[in-house]
Amino acid sequence: MSPVLEAALRGGAFAAIGLAWAIALIRLLGLRTLSKMTAFDFLSTLASGSLLATAASAETIEAAIQALSAMLALLVLQHLLARARRSRRFRRLIENEPVTLVEDGEIRESALRRTGVTPDDLFAKLRSAGIDRIADVSLVTLEVTGDVVILTQRPADARLLRDIDSTRRE
78 and 133 part of one domain: no
The boundaries of the domain holding residue 144 are 97-161
My answer on whether omega of the bond before 155 falls inside 30° of 0, hence cis, is: yes
Determine the average pLDDT of the residues in 9-29: 95
Determine the average pLDDT of the residues in 27-53: 87
The verdict on residue 32 lying in a domain is: yes
The verdict on residue 167 lying in a domain is: no
Confidence of residue 170 (pLDDT cuts 50, 70, 90): very low
The verdict on residue 169 lying in a domain is: no
10 and 56 part of one domain: yes
**Partners of residue 100 on adjacent β-strands:** 141
Confidence at residue 13, expressed as pLDDT on a 0 to 100 scale: 96
Confidence at residue 166, expressed as pLDDT on a 0 to 100 scale: 46
101 and 78 part of one domain: no
77 and 105 part of one domain: no
Domain final position from 70, 91, 112: 91
61 and 101 part of one domain: no
70 and 109 part of one domain: no
Confidence of residue 165 (pLDDT cuts 50, 70, 90): low
User: Bigger pLDDT: 165 or 51?
Assistant: 51
Task: State the total domains in the chain.
Answer: 2
- Helix/strand/coil (H/E/C) assignment for every residue in 127-158: HHCCCCCHHHCCEEEECCCCCEEEECCCCCCH
Confidence at residue 102, expressed as pLDDT on a 0 to 100 scale: 94
85 and 106 part of one domain: no
81 and 102 part of one domain: no
- CATH assignment at residue 141: 3.30.240.20
Domain final position from 63, 91, 119: 91
* Rounded-to-integer distance, Cα 142 and Cα 41, Å: 16
81 and 129 part of one domain: no
148 and 124 part of one domain: yes
Alpha carbon of 133 to those of 6, 77, 117, 159: distances in Å?
Answer: 61, 43, 19, 26
Determine the average pLDDT of the residues in 30-36: 82
Segment among 4-8, 9-13, 22-26, 34-38 with least mean pLDDT: 34-38
106 and 81 part of one domain: no
Stated pTM of the model: 0.68
Confidence of residue 168 (pLDDT cuts 50, 70, 90): very low
Confidence at residue 164, expressed as pLDDT on a 0 to 100 scale: 73
Segment among 37-41, 56-60, 119-123, 162-166 with least mean pLDDT: 162-166
The verdict on residue 136 lying in a domain is: yes
8 and 47 part of one domain: yes
Q: What are 50-95's pLDDT values in tens digits?
A: 999 999 999 999 999 999 999 999 999 999 988 888 888 887 787 7
